[in-house]
A and B are shown apart, each in its own frame.
Chain A
Amino acid sequence: MDLVHSRGDRLFTIAHRILRDVDRAEDALQDALVIAWRDLPGLRDPGRFDAWIHRLLTNVCIAQATRERRRTANLRVLPLDGPVSPDAFLDVADRDQLERGFRRLTPDERAILVLHHYVGYAPAEIADLLGRPAGTIRSRLHHAHRAMRAALEAEARVSTVGGTSA
């Protein structure tokens, strides 16, 4: 019982951070757990269950985000789902710009950012998790950082000239 409670919530939050949408995160969680059930006989090392299910979930999220990008000709900024906790470090405009910047990233880059900054995996661990070269992960992480920093700097420029973020 504790297994599902703890893992289900955690997996859901990871999916939500990548997909930025409650319904799509729920769909991804469902798909990942159904696939996990289906593929369990192929899990050779039960000790790596967490990494294995994180990989499944991340692949589902990337696939879903890829389909979403294909279907939407223009990027949309959707309202945040769920509560937003106050944090003096980030104001509303910062969060809005982070949201915009994040949605401009590729699904791969989004997933890597979440796995690194939210889940806490090191780049080498992400490489192992996703089956990609470590150099590729570091490169995408660097690009994603640069893109997110640029988004915040754009907000700072707008604020400086007295504008408001759309």
Chain B
Amino acid sequence: MNDSTDIERALSSWFEDGPTTMPDRVPTVIADRIGRTRQQRTWRLRGRPIDMNATFKIGAAIAAVVVIAIVGYNLLPQRASVAGPRPSPTVSPTPTTSPSEMPNGTLAPDAYMTRPFTNPYDLALTFDVPSGWTGFPTDALIGAGGTVPPKGIGIAFLQADGVHSDPCHWDHLGNQREDQPGDVAVGPSVDDLVNALSANTSYTASTPTDTTLDGYHGRRLTLELPNDLDLTKCDGGIAWLWGTPMGEYGIYVQGPGNRWDTRVLDVDGTRVIIAVIDYAGTPAVDHASAEAIVDSITFSR
């Protein structure tokens, strides 16, 4: 078996082996995940044109079909599973007295809840928001002046998969996707990530300190990008501090001199990053407002 035809025949035969049906739980899990996922949005795409023409309507129609089909599929009789049982995630129903989900747009002063991640999709953050903030579901809030230099501010809830040794050259896979790992692999712990960020010389990192939020322990440090950062020379015209796990959202560097006051917490085994993103010129009152929001955060599932 060593000629071209034989190897192609062997491969075709071999690829026919294996499971041919997805596990039964998949439609349920996907329906739940997309129920907590919003579609393309603008902050991370700042500077790129957003096409909102008729194709959006076509796409939305297809999306609706997919969603309906996925949900409807759950009503079918269960098929035999090709894989062994794996614990299905369980989501506690949100009590009717819980704060409302953070909406997109200007936030009235109130308590809000958001589930910022697709994995774990049931981790909820609840926080108090004073006036002057805009919701950017599900993983960010933006100050009244936006996030642009020299005075902007934002708050982001993130996860990381590795660190980019050079934030400006982050597209290691060459696909322009934000959810790709950093080229510096890091372990799963809080210290793994904090140590990798501290060791990076592309930006200034403060000495990490211990921190606690809602009883969860972690480390806190501030990362400050150079004032002469030229984003036009970066991959895709943007810069990323760390890699983003597949399927999650990330927030890219918002401009030269951007400061990331970064808390890295271990929330029951999930490494959660909470960053207040601003600049040296951001008004102290805005920073204090952001601090108050972060300090009010509670976690639940």
Q: Is the CB–CB distance between A37 and B34 below 8 Å?
A: yes
Q: Which secondary structure dominates chain A's binding surface?
A: helix
CB-CB contacts of B17-41 with A at 8 A, as 1s and 0s?
A: 1111111001101100110011110
Q: Is the CB–CB distance between A26 and B59 below 8 Å?
A: no
A11–B23 Cα distance when bound, in Å, is: 12
Chain B, residue nearest A53 (CB): B66
By a CB distance below 8 angstroms, the chain B residues around A152 are 1-2, 7, 10
Chain A, residue nearest B34 (CB): A37
The answer, among A16, A44, A89, for a CB contact under 8 Å with B13, is: A89
By a CB distance below 8 angstroms, the chain B residues around A46 are 55, 58-59, 62
With an 8 A cutoff between CB atoms, is B262 at the interface? Answer: no
With an 8 A cutoff between CB atoms, is B70 at the interface? Answer: yes
Given A33-B34, A118-B12, are A41 and B60 also a contact pair (CB < 8 Å)?
Answer: yes
By a CB distance below 8 angstroms, the chain A residues around B60 are 40-41
Given A22-B19, A41-B59, A117-B8, are A98 and B14 also a contact pair (CB < 8 Å)?
Answer: yes
How many residues of chain B are within 8 Å of chain A by beta carbon? 61
With an 8 A cutoff between CB atoms, is A77 at the interface? Answer: no
By a CB distance below 8 angstroms, the chain B residues around A85 are 16-17
Stretch from B123-131, B174-182, B263-271 contacting the other chain: B174-182
CB-CB contacts of A79-108 with B at 8 A, as 1s and 0s?
A: 011111101011000110010000000000
Given A38-B40, A82-B18, are A30 and B29 also a contact pair (CB < 8 Å)?
Answer: yes
A86–B230 Cα distance when bound, in Å, is: 59
A45–B51 Cα distance when bound, in Å, is: 13
CB-CB contacts of A4-46 with B at 8 A, as 1s and 0s?
A: 1100110111001100001100100111011111111111111
Q: Is the CB–CB distance between B59 and A42 below 8 Å?
A: yes
Which parts of B33-63 form the interface with A (CB within 8 Å)?
33-34, 37-40, 51-52, 55-56, 58-60, 62-63
- Chain A interface size, as a band, is 35 or more
With an 8 A cutoff between CB atoms, is A3 at the interface? Answer: yes
The answer, among B10, B12, B34, B67, for a CB contact under 8 Å with A94, is: B10
With an 8 A cutoff between CB atoms, is A76 at the interface? Answer: no
CB distance from B201 to the nearest CB of A (A): 22
By a CB distance below 8 angstroms, the chain B residues around A156 are 1
The answer, among B52, B76, B161, B247, for a CB contact under 8 Å with A35, is: B247
Chain B, residue nearest A33 (CB): B30
Chain B, residue nearest A94 (CB): B10
Q: Is the CB–CB distance between A114 and B8 below 8 Å?
A: no
Which parts of B55-84 form the interface with A (CB within 8 Å)?
55-56, 58-60, 62-63, 65-67, 69-70, 72-73, 76, 82-83
With an 8 A cutoff between CB atoms, is A153 at the interface? Answer: yes
A38–B250 Cα distance when bound, in Å, is: 14
**7 pairs, A vs B, C-beta closer than 8 Å:** A12-B23, A12-B26, A22-B19, A80-B18, A81-B19, A145-B7, A153-B1
Chain B residues packing against A (C-beta within 8 Å): 1-2, 4, 7-23, 26-27, 29-30, 33-34, 37-40, 51-52, 55-56, 58-60, 62-63, 65-67, 69-70, 72-73, 76, 82-83, 86, 118, 161, 173, 175, 177, 179-181, 185, 246-247
In the complex, besides A84-B17, A113-B11, 9 extra interface pairs with C-beta distance below 8 angstroms are A9-B20, A17-B15, A22-B23, A22-B83, A34-B30, A34-B37, A42-B40, A82-B82, A90-B13
Chain A residues packing against B (C-beta within 8 Å): 1-5, 8-9, 11-13, 16-17, 22-23, 26, 29-31, 33-46, 49, 59-60, 62-64, 66-67, 70-71, 80-85, 87, 89-90, 94-95, 98, 113-114, 117-118, 131, 145, 148-149, 152-153, 156
